[in-house]
Amino acid sequence: MPVTIAFDVYGTLIDTQGVLSELEKIMGEKAPSFSQTWREKQLEYSFRRGLMKRYENFAVCTAQALDYTSAYYKISLTDGQKQSLLESYKTLPAFDDVTSSLTQLKSADCSLYAFSNGSALAVETLLEAAGIRNLFDGIVSTDDIQSFKPNPDVYHHLLQKTGSTANETWLISSNPFDVIGAINTNLNAAWVQRSKDTIFDPWGVEPTTTIETLDALSVHVV
Active-site residues: which are they? 8
Report in angstroms the alpha-carbon separations of 7 from 34, 99, 161, 210: 26, 13, 14, 14
What CA–CA distance (Å, rounded) separates 55 from 3?
A: 32
Residues 6+ apart with CB under 8 A from 3: 110, 111, 168, 169, 170, 221, 222
CA distances from 91 to 98, 100, 107, 117, 131 (A): 15, 20, 27, 16, 10
* Nearest CA-CA partner of 120 in 47, 57, 185: 57
CB of 173 within 8 A of CB of 162?
A: no
Q: Is 87 exposed, middle or buried (0-12, 13-18, 19+ CB in 10 A)?
A: exposed
Distance CA 141, CA 64 (A): 20
